[in-house]
Amino acid sequence: MNTNVDDCAPRRRPIRMCLYCELLTDEPVLVASVHQASGPGFGVYACPQCVEAGVAVPYSDL
């Protein structure tokens, strides 16, 4: 059976909580990357509205 994964189901959009307003967003913007000595690090996200308002700065602009 030769099934392509893309044909099975639509992709889920990522859902993250905004660091600043604490609302869930399905359009997260990476604003920080936390590195750890043991274990994997993680990304910190903001919603597009907080980025547009100037509350958060995208990680790529730092």
Q: Count Cα atoms within 13 angstroms, Cβ side, for 17.
A: 4
Q: Output the pTM of the full model.
A: 0.73
State pLDDT tens for residues 27-42.
Answer: 999 999 999 899 899 9
What does pLDDT average to over the chain?
A: 87
* Alpha-carbon gap, residue 40 to 34, rounded angstroms: 9
What is the pLDDT at residue 12? Answer: 79
